[in-house]
Structure 1
Amino acid sequence: MTKPPYRVPSMAEVRAVPWNGFNAISTFSGCGGSSLGYRMAGLRMLWASEFIPAAADTYRANASEHTVLDTRDIRQVTAKDILDTVNLKAGEIDLMDGSPPCAAFSTSGKREAGWGVVKTYSDTRQRVDDLFFEFTRLLGDLQPRTFVAENVAGLVQGTAKGYFKEILAALRRPGYRVSAKLLDAQWLGVPQRRHRLIFVGVREDLAMVPAHPKPLTYRYTVRDAVGDLPGAFDDLQNDPETGQPLTLRGYSVEKLWHELRPGEGHKLRTSLKRLSWDQPCATIVARAGTAGTAAITHPDHPRYPTLAELRRLGGFPDDFVLTGNYYRRWERIGRAVPPVMMARIAETVRDELLVPLRDAGRI
């Protein structure tokens, strides 16, 4: 198959996608990356939940007119709250989405040392390793026809496997057939290497088998994604949107960057990953240029990507609104499921589960 040019639809084009008749709700919605993917696939997002104020600000700036955003702690939300808001009964929601915070299971973090501990997460202090069970609580009470849940690959690695088994059992307990697969965004139309564990479930009474998208036969590179942007090849000093510096901070970090070849990474105080024009982008992490985090940098110049470049590399529309300073906007993209990736997942659930059920008159 010939590789088509890399292009993410504009927000206006996404808003113009006709409704396919299926509804969805979203928990742990972040800035709306997953929600945008469902909208690209024609689903209508009726309700979303996001507790972090900065993320909720971005979600609100891009939300569909049909979406009600709930900013309470998910622990305070009941199924009745949701059903009353969307005017549906238990069992009538077509798809429930959720991306519980994954920092507790990431291989780049402290993992089990932080389990059961209240600690800093984005703009809050809270325990996050138990939040997947808030998703399963609502799942059991809402009984949606299908669900999609997402987490980091680290959930099935090392000591976290015990948590994975508990989560899988909890997802199946309310009466669901569940399949979990590691998917890589670079094979689903996103110019970024990003492994995510994707759970897909379908209610047992519907007698269907969960489905995951098949990988494409091609990948997009950094050049494919950002090569046509103004300033893409330049040594820009400041981000055009925020005016904040893009240059690497500290002589030792910049010196190290010059020693790296494009496509290489190295750990110092900060983990640097110098991008290559001819490869997909390395994983965009939540925090740029701080101790213990991986900062992606421009292939040719010792600078961070612009926000315009980050949107492209993260599978977001060029006109997706990001709020806050440069680093807050980077964080929103780093924590999000790439919309283009979620669109592929949503299309698969739509075409292989929901449409056949509707055509058979079973929903």
Structure 2
Amino acid sequence: MINGYVQILDMEEALNLFNVMPTPDNMSWNSMISGYAQMGNLERAREYFEMMPQKHLVSWSTMVAGYEKNRDYKGAIELFKRMQAEGEKPDRHTLSSVLSVSTGLVDLKLGMQIHQLVSKSVIPDVPIENSLITMYSRCGALIESHVSFDGLKSSKDVISWNAIIGGYASHGYALEALELFESKKKSNVQPTYITFIYVLSACTHAGLVGGGWAYLKSMVSEYGIEPRIEHYASLVDNVARHGQLEEAMDLIKSMPFEPDKEIWGALLSACRLHNNVELAPVAAEALMRLEPESSAAYILLYNMYVEAGQWEAAAEVREMMERNNIRKQAAFSLIDSSYS
């Protein structure tokens, strides 16, 4: 019953039952720890962890995982070190959590240390290997990432493919990322929307505007995946960055979503890159509405007007900043330097 309430995150009822148990067993203690950790209440989870009469491997793993899921990486590492100091050997679940910590911290040294523990402690399975691929990819150690990827042979799942494709795409190896995606097509593993986020990002970095359009269309036609706003943001960035600003604007208008700050930011940056003072105000004003306290859009638009010699428009932007109480020192120092 306690575990049932924990699964629906009704910790009040779980606590009521826990408090009337004559002698709570380890499963009950671990359920309480897991429930509070899932709710983000790490202080309460740690309190129950420390009160446990006897801690077992599941208890340690649950608490370490709780820290990792809530991005308290320091807490996870400190508890993992204490776990080892007290003679408790980690299992694949603990090691997977600490690998995720090293990924979150982009700490290659820590990740390699955990890899050594993995080699000594457990027989790696697909989830562990995927964690290693992800860690090495995020840290830019692409050779090591590919070694782990190749080690899976025919056991690769979509997480494996996403991790390796994303690693190459995010570290500037766009063509290699796209080659991997084409290789993945020969397997029986179906891509997910995450796969296409990496693929479209690779197209942007490689300057493949036509490829970006083609991959967006294939998401629906070949795989039945509805594009999300992240996919549109990547394609808008790609199209706009390569000077097709009107096409980028048409794409924004055709989206089934309200454009977010990433999309308008990509368009505004492209307007600055290509000196397009016609579309820049549209993107800048949209960003001002989405981020009313940020000075970034004001500064970029102001500088564009100054460079174009449109002094009246530049003065209007400055007046807007003052009227909207955008008074960050950095903003005004940049603006004032434009007059000199």
Answer 1 or 2: which has greater helix percent: 2
TM-score (norm 2): 0.26
Higher radius of gyration, 1 or 2 = 2
TM-score (norm 1): 0.25
Larger relative contact order, structure 1 or 2 (CA cutoff 8 Å, min sep 6): 1
